[in-house]
Amino acid sequence: MTDQRPYAALLAKGEDRRQRILAVAQRLLSRQGSRGTTIVQIAREAGVTPAGLLHHFESKEQLLHAVLDARDAFDEARADRMGDIVEELERVAERYREAPELVGLFSVLQMENIEPGAPLHDRFRTRYWVAVETLAEGIRRGQRAGRYRTDLDPTVKSVEIVAFITGIQTSWLLDPSIPLTEVFTEYTASLTRQLAPPSDTP
């Protein structure tokens, strides 16, 4: 467990501070966006000066990428053990309340980078299609297994589902008092009805 690199203790301390900055940055960025958050603000809440922050991240944009990379890694780790998409969808609502500070990050930053040519535009666009394709593949799997009906386009349905999730996130961020669980159960229930093969209608 002991680190054998040179200057191990020093580097460990730096890494610790680095993680703290990352955490603060994530929290602030997910509410105020990139343009609404200053390096000064992040540095202050992390207990460092702006110059100290830039010792760990060479620029604001690079810090932004680092935050997104951390989240991407976190999500990927969970995406591997994905089961039935409908069951998965039902669990999304829980995660909102368990970790509210994680929720807005992508939605907020994505909105700031809608314009083609925006610094993170391409990153978010490919991320979007990865999400859609992952979902579509889940549907196709269900279709091949005979659990889902085959007369609907997986991609089209996936675009719809991603849109719903994005939208409900925005709504919830704007006003956390919306009936989140009810809406989710309603939607997943209607999804199940649509996906179920027409054979079993007693």
Partner DNA sequence: ACCAACCTACCGAACACACGCTAGGTCGGT
Partner DNA sequence: ACCGACCTAGCGTGTGTTCGGTAGGTTGGT
Applying CB under 7 A, the residues found at the interface with DNA are: 6-11, 13-15, 17, 37-41, 47-52, 54-56, 58-61
Q: 121-144 vs 104-112: helix axis angle to the nearest 10?
A: 130
Q: Is 117 left (phi over 0), alpha (psi -120 to 50) or beta?
A: left
Q: Does 26 bind a copy of itself (CB under 8 A)?
A: no
CB 39 within 8 A of CB 53: yes
Binder of residue 19, out of DNA, a copy of itself, none (CB less than 5 to 8 A by kind): none
Query: 125: exposed, middle or buried (C-beta count within 10 Å: 0-12, 13-18, 19+)?
Result: middle
Binder of residue 148, out of DNA, a copy of itself, none (CB less than 5 to 8 A by kind): none
Give the residue with the Cβ less far from DNA, 119 or 176. Answer: 119
Q: Does 40 bind a copy of itself (CB under 8 A)?
A: no
Binder of residue 24, out of a copy of itself, DNA, none (CB less than 5 to 8 A by kind): none
Please give the size of the binding site for a copy of itself, defined by CB under 8 A: 46
Give the residue with the Cβ less far from a copy of itself, 17 or 129. Answer: 129
User: What three-state secondary structure class fits 48?
Assistant: coil
